[in-house]
Every structure is written in C-alpha cells, then in structure tokens.
Chains A and B, each alone.
Chain A
C-alpha cells in the first residue's frame, strides 16, 4: 500500500521519466507572473475606486494593503510552488494531506473564473471587429422600419448604450427570461477560445513565448493613450478630479475593505496559477525579489493606467458639458431671435442673467437643462460599463476614432489574455501532476479538451440573459472563495507546515533567511488582515439586498436600469457558486481524517513484524 506522501515513483521498464517543463529564461517567468497579475481590473476597477474613495487619499489604504497583505501572500505562493515543484493540488497535498481541499478549491475557482473571463474577452473581440468601420457603429442610432426616425429604444437612451445592450448583448429584461443563444456572440467566443488555445497549446512552452507580446503591449498602448489623452481639452479636469485627495473619506471602513479586496484580487492570489508558474522554476531562484517586483509593478500599472483613463473621462465630461451648454444656447438664440453665435459659451452666463431679469417667464418656459461639469464627472463607471459605454463614447469624440478604438480593444484583449493564461495553468498543472491524463494523450489534445469543455460551459453567457449571469459569477465566484482559500493557505503554510521549516526552505532557495518583515506579516499581520477582510466582506454582503440592474426598455424610468431582486433559485445558485469551491476543504480534511483513523485502527490490530515499509512501492 503506497502512502501518498512519499511520492515514490518507479519508472516503468523501457520508458523515460518525463522532465518537468521549465521556463526558457527568467524574463519569461516574470512577464508571465506580471501578465497574470495585471489584468482588466487594473484598468477598469482601480481608477473607479480611486475616484470614488477620495482620489489621492485612496492610495494610502491601497499601499498599506499591498505591503501588509499583498506582497507577503504573493511571496508565500511563489515560494511554495518553487520549493515543492507541483501545481496547487500537489503542493497542498504535500504540505499536509488534510489541506488537499485547498488545492481542489483553487482548481474549481480557476475553472469558473476562466469561463466568464473569456466571455468578456469575446465581447472585447466583438467591439474590435466593429472598430474598422467608418463611422463607428455606436456613434449613430439606426433608423426605424419606415425610415422616418430613429429606433425608439436608441432615441430614449444613447447610441452607445443601444449598441452595447441591444446589438451586442441583445439583453433580456430580466434574468429569468433566458432568450436565445446569440450566434454572433458565440462566434466571438469561439475565436476568443481559439486565440487562447493557440497560446496555451503546449502549456508554458507556448505561453512563455506569447507573454513577450501580451504582457508588454498594454504598456505601449497605455503610453500612447497617455500622450494623446493629455492633449485633449478637459483632460486636466479629469485628472484633478481623480487625484484630489479627500482625506476625510478614510474614516469610512468601507474604503479600507475595498482597498484590501482590490489588492487581493488584483494580484490574482489563491487561483493556483502563481503556484503553477513558480513550480516550473529552478529551485535555486530568488523568489523574494520576484514577489516584490511583481507586486510593485502591478500597483504601479494600476496607477499608470488610471492617468489616461481619467484624462479621457475628463475630456468626455467636458464634451458633454459643452454639448449641454450648446443646447441651451441654441434654445435661447432661437427663442429670442438673437444673432447667430452672439451667445457663446463664455458669455452664456451673463446673457442668461440679463434675460432672466427682463424675460424671466419665457426663460422658464424654455426648460433649460442645468449643466454642471461636476455632474458629468461624477458619472463614473467601472467594469464593462467603463470599457463598452463610457470609453466608447469618449472615443467617438476623438479625431481618428477608429485608430483609438482598435488600440484600446487590442490592449484590453491582451490584458485579459495574459490573465487567462494564469487561470488555465491553474487548471492544467494540478491535473497534470495528479497524473489523470493518460500517457497516450498528447498535451496538445489535453489543453484542447480543456478549452473545448470551457467553451461549451461558457455558452451560458451567450444567451440573452448572459450578462446577468456573468455579473453573478463575477461577484460570487471571484470574491469570497478566494478569501477563504487564501486564509487556509497562509494558516497551512505558517502553522501546519511550520514557519521554521518554511524559512529554512527559503534560505536554501534564495540564500538568505526571510527577515523580520516577512516573519511578522506571515505569522500575524496577513492572516489577521485576511480574517478581518473576510468577516467585513460577509457583513457588508449580508446587509446588501441581493439585487441586480436590468436593462428593460419598457421600464417607466427607462433609460435608467431597473433594480430587480434575484429570484430564489438564482440566489441559491449564487450561494452554491460561493460555497462549492470552499466546501472541498472540510470534505477532503474529513476524508483524510477517516482514512487516518482506519489506518491506525488496522495498524494496532494487525502487527506483522516482518512488514518492511521501506520497500513498499506504488507498483503494488
């Protein structure tokens, strides 16, 4: 009977033991880790948080979270992967058989996240395909049936909203109405999975080459956007708005919670992907320096990305404000028959004051819109709303729209692609290490199988209600399970594997023993922070009603989105999505405990002194 801990592997007669694949050079490894950590969230979540939570002041809780939570966890994951040279399941089995469920949890979370993340990339591809038209299709409303006016849904909202909700998603009014599978989203999804497959086909062999482009290209585009954005009118308003520190916001505990969760999810911890990547490293590698580099670059990228994003949002707000003013000016000019262009944006206020004193009744009858640039700046968005609604609207107003649209969507795609590599490696490496793959199946076929199965599951998101399901997956899978898994990870390494043993391992790998900062953060601060964040997160989630925003053209307040409650069965699925990855931790622990008990019982009953355990092997 082979104990799984010893890992004895006798090579079969006549066959070679396959060498573990390895990175071509250190640069590939670092770029892959950076690419995994730097994803869509850096571009569309961080700037939004920065703006909502008091601009420059948000950087304080953000950096505190990075130093006391992000980098220690990152270092720990890279170190155990490098030392134990296995994927997430193998690593946690090695640390303690009772913790095997942590690895399984990581695997399941990686799979579920890969499903919806690639759907977002499919949408990005759809917009990319449409960016080669002149004019851009989201600039104008399409005409209605008898060509007398614009389609009603589009006229009531905006062309950008219409293109996103109707022509891209064809969204249904609520989640229970599934709608049909939209063929155009399916073929975009197929191309997204095709592109992912081509990079992922031989595991890190091909990923390592792909990241030279996918990890570096976004920085190039961000720089181009930065230069362009800073020359746009209104850019400075956006930047001032973003970075003006409002220090009193820091008194709100929600800010600290969001900073901690943002750091955590941004670094892609607990997916098992980082463990997989570092497991292909040579063991004598400075993982401490790698962790600090990856952590710092991730945060720096977030800050660097928010500058062009907010410059462009400032430009958009200024454009909207000017349009609003121009509308009012036209009303006044027409109503009072003042000469054309006599009322300009500059003297609008003095004209208005003058007319209010002389013809106040007529001014009131005009129902002039109240134009405030602050109001337009406050219309922030995050997530898909930022990319597909706000940013696309800004791009139309920029000269040379097609170029900027193409650049933007290619940047988003490559940001997402490099993160997908991490998710898929988090699935592939543990499965390869568990030897569930039959020997005759080539690696290309196995990766192809993973991509194909994921594609079929992801067809859920191509239905009419797909966007609502994606939001569910995003909030319930990509949040709570990761916190739980990370908590068990750090407790497992520090208290079960032993911090002394772990420090010895690191000293052996890097040549220096981890200093006081690492000891403090690993033993006390990081687990403490994780626990606090987890409890706070649960408290906040429980207090919020389980609702979602639906796009319903028949809603009274259309174009505002309708707030609907999740039906009971949908909410049950949400809970299931959060708990299934975590539930494997107690299940596996219980299973191993039962195994241990039965073995002890059998040992005490059956004592054969001639049983020499030193020669037991897997072959039996």
Chain B
C-alpha cells in the first residue's frame, strides 16, 4: 500500500511534466520584463514569485468559472528561462489529467488581466501572454472637443476686438467732423482762396510749355 502510494506520488510530477509542454495545444507562453518596467525597483524572479503567479492565475480561473475548486496546484509551469519566460497549463480540478481548453483560459485571463498585472506591478506590455492581445483602451473623448472651446474663446476675443475698434473709430470720426463744422467762416475762406496747384509738382519738373507764347518770333514781322 505504502509502496503504491509512494509510486503514485513520484509519478505526479512526472505526469505534471507531461501535461505541460511548450507549444502544447492548451499551453500559453508568458514573458515578463521586470527590469524594463521597474528599473531600479525591480524584484528578483524566484520560486515565491512563481507561486504568486500560479495563485493569481488560479484566482482568475475561479473568477471566470465561478467554481471555487481551482487551486495553486491546478496551474503547472514549465520551461523557465532567464529571460523570465515560461509556459503554463491549467488542469481541471475535478480531473487532474485533463487540461482546461485554451479559449477558456484566454477568456479568464482577459477578464482579470488588470488584477494580474497589478499583482506584479507590470503592464500589458511588460507582462505578455503570447497569443492574447491586450484590449486597447479607448481614448477618452470629452463631451465637447477641447479644440472647439479654444476656438470659441479666440473667436470671441477677436469679434469683441473688431467691434470695439469699429465703434471707437466711428466715435472719433464723428468728433472730427464736429470740430470741422465748428470752424470759423474766415478759416474756410482762406482755404478756398489758395491756389490749387500743389507746389510739389512744379518743383521737380521742367515746367509746362505755354503754347500762347511759343510762336511769337514767327508771327511778328522782322524789323
């Protein structure tokens, strides 16, 4: 009896190894980039961290299926590398020889992705489940686009400015017209009596030919 129990026990890890195969049909590869994410605060990846991983995955399975039978032992890990990457499978708690199918595991992980990430202080990019694309966060859309608000402010300032300048100009013009009307009659007369020819035009030119005086020599008789 004892020998049979011992034999069974020694076979379990071997059986577990047989279940977890890299590139297995129901296996997923996980890749962690702890130093990239945390830099100086990076933690060492060791057995305890591995334990936490299996525990969070069991939690994810429990949450997805609603069955509280999943345990740390249901998650089997193999092919660990110094990269920190490994393969894992999830066994059925009722029948440890069979595996939970791939898409069920995928759905479970997608559901609790955020919780799994935060347990390790990582993000979708640094804790990769190869084959499970991260759900893209939709960009935040405010109710009114920000640019229209800025546009409204600028246009408001511009319109008030234009109106202000037009009104000020109008008032100034009215004031100038009033001062001209109030001028003395004498001053007006002075301006009308000026000779209208602007002096500037005569300055630079050669003068204007006065046709009335040009042909005198021809018409006067010679003495």
**In the docked arrangement, what's the CA distance between A86 and B34, Å?**
74
Query: Known contacts A338-B82, A613-B209: does B196 contact A198 (CB below 8 Å)?
Result: no
Q: Is A563 close to B, CB under 8 A? A: no
Whole-angstrom distance from the CB of B15 to the nearest CB of chain A? 26
Q: Is A517 close to B, CB under 8 A? A: no
Q: Judging by beta carbons under 8 Å apart, are B201 and A8 in contact?
A: yes
Q: Judging by beta carbons under 8 Å apart, are A610 and B212 in contact?
A: yes
Whole-angstrom distance from the CB of A130 to the nearest CB of chain B? 5
Q: Judging by beta carbons under 8 Å apart, are A340 and B196 in contact?
A: no
Whole-angstrom distance from the CB of A183 to the nearest CB of chain B? 12
**In the docked arrangement, what's the CA distance between A206 and B32, Å?**
64
Q: List 14 A-B contacts (CB under 8 A).
A: A6-B201, A8-B198, A10-B197, A14-B188, A143-B139, A150-B136, A195-B154, A337-B81, A337-B83, A340-B84, A444-B169, A608-B211, A609-B211, A610-B211
Residues of A42-67 at the interface with B, using a CB-CB cut-off of 8 Å, are: none
Whole-angstrom distance from the CB of A538 to the nearest CB of chain B? 38
Which residues of B pack against A, CB within 8 Å? 31-36, 81-85, 133, 136, 138-139, 146-148, 150-151, 154-155, 158-159, 161-162, 165-166, 169-170, 173, 180, 188, 191-192, 196-198, 200-201, 205, 208-212, 214-215
Query: Known contacts A194-B159, A340-B35: does B196 contact A617 (CB below 8 Å)?
Result: yes
Residues of A near B205 (CB, < 8 A) are: 5-6
**In the docked arrangement, what's the CA distance between A338 and B83, Å?**
5
Residues of A near B165 (CB, < 8 A) are: 198, 201-202, 206, 444
Residues of B near A609 (CB, < 8 A) are: 211-212, 214-215
Q: Judging by beta carbons under 8 Å apart, are A340 and B36 in contact?
A: yes
Residues of A112-148 at the interface with B, using a CB-CB cut-off of 8 Å, are: 125-126, 128-130, 132-133, 140, 142-143, 147-148
Residues of B near A528 (CB, < 8 A) are: none
**In the docked arrangement, what's the CA distance between A142 and B139, Å?**
7
Residues of A307-341 at the interface with B, using a CB-CB cut-off of 8 Å, are: 333-334, 337-341
Which residues of A pack against B, CB within 8 Å? 5-11, 13-14, 16, 125-126, 128-130, 132-133, 140, 142-143, 147-150, 187-188, 190-191, 194-195, 197-198, 201-202, 206, 333-334, 337-341, 442-444, 607-614, 617
**In the docked arrangement, what's the CA distance between A132 and B138, Å?**
19
Residues of B near A337 (CB, < 8 A) are: 81-83, 85
Residues of B near A202 (CB, < 8 A) are: 165, 169
Q: Judging by beta carbons under 8 Å apart, are B192 and A13 in contact?
A: yes
**In the docked arrangement, what's the CA distance between A342 and B26, Å?**
31
Residues of B near A612 (CB, < 8 A) are: 210-212
**In the docked arrangement, what's the CA distance between A187 and B148, Å?**
10
Whole-angstrom distance from the CB of B163 to the nearest CB of chain A? 10
Whole-angstrom distance from the CB of A278 to the nearest CB of chain B? 18
Q: Judging by beta carbons under 8 Å apart, are B211 and A613 in contact?
A: yes
Which single residue of chain B is at the shortest CB-CB distance from A445? B166
Majority DSSP secondary structure for residues of B touching A: helix
**In the docked arrangement, what's the CA distance between A16 and B214, Å?**
37
Partner of B198, one of A9, A333, A341, A607: A9
Residues of A near B84 (CB, < 8 A) are: 339-340
**In the docked arrangement, what's the CA distance between A191 and B166, Å?**
18
Residues of A near B136 (CB, < 8 A) are: 143, 147-150
**In the docked arrangement, what's the CA distance between A453 and B33, Å?**
61
Whole-angstrom distance from the CB of B22 to the nearest CB of chain A? 11
Whole-angstrom distance from the CB of A55 to the nearest CB of chain B? 38
Residues of A near B139 (CB, < 8 A) are: 140, 142-143
Whole-angstrom distance from the CB of A378 to the nearest CB of chain B? 30
Sample of 7 further A-B pairs with CB below 8 A, known A8-B197, A444-B165 = A16-B180, A147-B138, A194-B155, A194-B158, A198-B158, A340-B83, A442-B170
Whole-angstrom distance from the CB of B210 to the nearest CB of chain A? 6
**In the docked arrangement, what's the CA distance between A62 and B188, Å?**
58
Of the candidates A147, A339, A340, A608, the one having the most CB atoms from chain B within 10 angstroms of its own CB is A340
Whole-angstrom distance from the CB of B82 to the nearest CB of chain A? 5
**In the docked arrangement, what's the CA distance between A337 and B32, Å?**
11
Which single residue of chain A is at the shortest CB-CB distance from B180? A16
Query: Known contacts A11-B191, A147-B138: does B82 contact A339 (CB below 8 Å)?
Result: yes
Residues of B near A442 (CB, < 8 A) are: 169-170, 173
Partner of A201, one of B85, B148, B166: B166
Residues of B near A617 (CB, < 8 A) are: 196-197
Query: Known contacts A11-B196, A132-B147, A612-B212: does B34 contact A340 (CB below 8 Å)?
Result: yes
Q: Judging by beta carbons under 8 Å apart, are B208 and A614 in contact?
A: yes
Which single residue of chain A is at the shortest CB-CB distance from B207? A614
**In the docked arrangement, what's the CA distance between A338 and B35, Å?**
13
Residues of A near B148 (CB, < 8 A) are: 129
**In the docked arrangement, what's the CA distance between A206 and B164, Å?**
13
**In the docked arrangement, what's the CA distance between A262 and B183, Å?**
55
**In the docked arrangement, what's the CA distance between A611 and B197, Å?**
18
Q: Judging by beta carbons under 8 Å apart, are B161 and A334 in contact?
A: no
Whole-angstrom distance from the CB of B182 to the nearest CB of chain A? 14
**In the docked arrangement, what's the CA distance between A456 and B66, Å?**
66
Q: Judging by beta carbons under 8 Å apart, are A132 and B146 in contact?
A: yes
Whole-angstrom distance from the CB of B34 to the nearest CB of chain A? 6
**In the docked arrangement, what's the CA distance between A442 and B173, Å?**
9
Residues of B near A444 (CB, < 8 A) are: 165-166, 169
Residues of B near A147 (CB, < 8 A) are: 136, 138
Q: Judging by beta carbons under 8 Å apart, are A191 and B154 in contact?
A: yes
Query: Known contacts A339-B83, A340-B83: does B196 contact A129 (CB below 8 Å)?
Result: no
**In the docked arrangement, what's the CA distance between A142 and B141, Å?**
11
Top 10 nearest A-B pairs by Cβ distance?
A: A10-B196, A337-B81, A129-B147, A341-B35, A337-B83, A194-B158, A129-B150, A340-B35, A339-B82, A611-B211
